[in-house]
Amino acid sequence: MSTAEQLRVPVIQLKSILFAIDFTPGSLHAFPFAISLARHYAAGLLLEHVMPNEGTLPLSETPAVIRHRMQAEIETALVRSHESLNGIAHEIHFDRGNISSRLLATARERHTDLVILGTSGLRGMKKLLKGSTAEEIVFLATCPVLTVGPNVDRRPDFRRILCATDFSPAARKAIPYAISLAEIYNASLLFLHVNDWNSKEPPIDARPRTHEFVREELHRSIHGAAVESRSQIVVDFGPSTDLIVEVAADREADLIVIGRPAVNGIKARIASRLPGSTAYDVIAQAPCPVLSVPLRSAA
């Protein structure tokens, strides 16, 4: 095997998708994206509803009754969203306990390739008081997480994909997903590098380094050549979160792909109750879904 072949990244496969459903508007808003991805990647779809421990169930609410009600509500949601599960292998799972812990456990046990969930996008004091289940899952999941925030107004058809990069190992991990999605959806791909005000990178180096970095990553990807002709590179200067959201809105991006550094255990749980990371602040404000790819993902 040649050195070039050894350096190539593996093909991204999404065979198993976990969709967290709780029948809130935010959750149901994310449902069409789960269906679209499952259909495009021929993936199995597991719909999981977790009842918090503090909730009480009437005596008549047996697991069988709950599953029947879930099935009815899912079918209603499908009618409202004009979507269908026809042709998609799917399963409904009911669980009870801490929501993030149970969903993460299911993702590990089922070897899930992607978690999808809606989020209310809590920030600031509201987040400090309530914490964020979505951010806890984003921080702790070992597979990518697609979040659909409160400002999302896009259809579940990814035609324009924005991939935010900062040359980090996490960014390298995220790029193959952006390339795969661009190939699967026949989408255009915009690579955005933000030279943040806090960056130690000399601004004069930002553009040439970005072009070199992106070309290298495209050539490492099996599908890189197929999407290179419809790829573009943008370098901007300023606060990362604001510019990623701004460029996504201006370019009418249908999806943002971003890498996430590894944060383990208690640090992630603490972070879910503090002012957000760049990835989570983008999730809370973005006009489109955000795919966050952890550094320690399997791909």
User: Is the pLDDT reported for residue 91 higher than 70?
Assistant: yes
Region 117-135: mean pLDDT is 57
- Whether the per-residue pLDDT at 268 is higher than 70: the answer is no
**pLDDT at 164 > cutoff 70:** yes
The pLDDT value given to residue 299: 43
Strands 188-195 and 160-165: parallel
79 vs 162: which has the higher pLDDT: 162
Q: Length of the chain in residues, anyone?
A: 299
User: Which domains, and CATH codes, for the chain?
Assistant: 16-148 (3.40.50.620), 154-294 (3.40.50.620)
List C-alpha distances in Å: 131 to 120, 135, 141, 145, 232: 11, 8, 17, 18, 37
Mean pLDDT computed over 35-63: 80
pLDDT of 58 reads: 56
- Between 126 and 63, where is the model more confident? 63
* Per-residue confidence (pLDDT) for residue 223, from 0 to 100: 82
Alpha-carbon Rg for the chain, nearest whole angstrom, is: 19
- Closest C-alpha among 252, 118, 138, 238 to residue 190: 252
Prediction pTM value: 0.86
**110 pLDDT band (50/70/90 cuts)?**
very high
**pLDDT of 123 above 50:** no
Q: Mean per-residue pLDDT for 59-64? A: 64
Helix, strand, or coil here: 164?
A: strand
Contact 33, 116 (CB under 8 A): yes
pLDDT score, position 284: 81
Residues 6+ apart with CB under 8 A from 271: 135, 139, 263, 277
CA dist., res. 258 & res. 255, Å (int): 10
Q: Give pLDDT, residue 298.
A: 44
**Averaged pLDDT score across all residues of the chain:** 82
User: What is the band of 5 on the pLDDT scale with cuts at 50, 70, 90?
Assistant: very low
Inform me whether the pLDDT recorded for 131 exceeds 70.
Answer: no
When pLDDT is averaged across residues 219-232 and rounded to a whole number, the result is 89
Most confident of 66-70, 262-266, 273-277: 66-70
Mean pLDDT of 13-31: 85
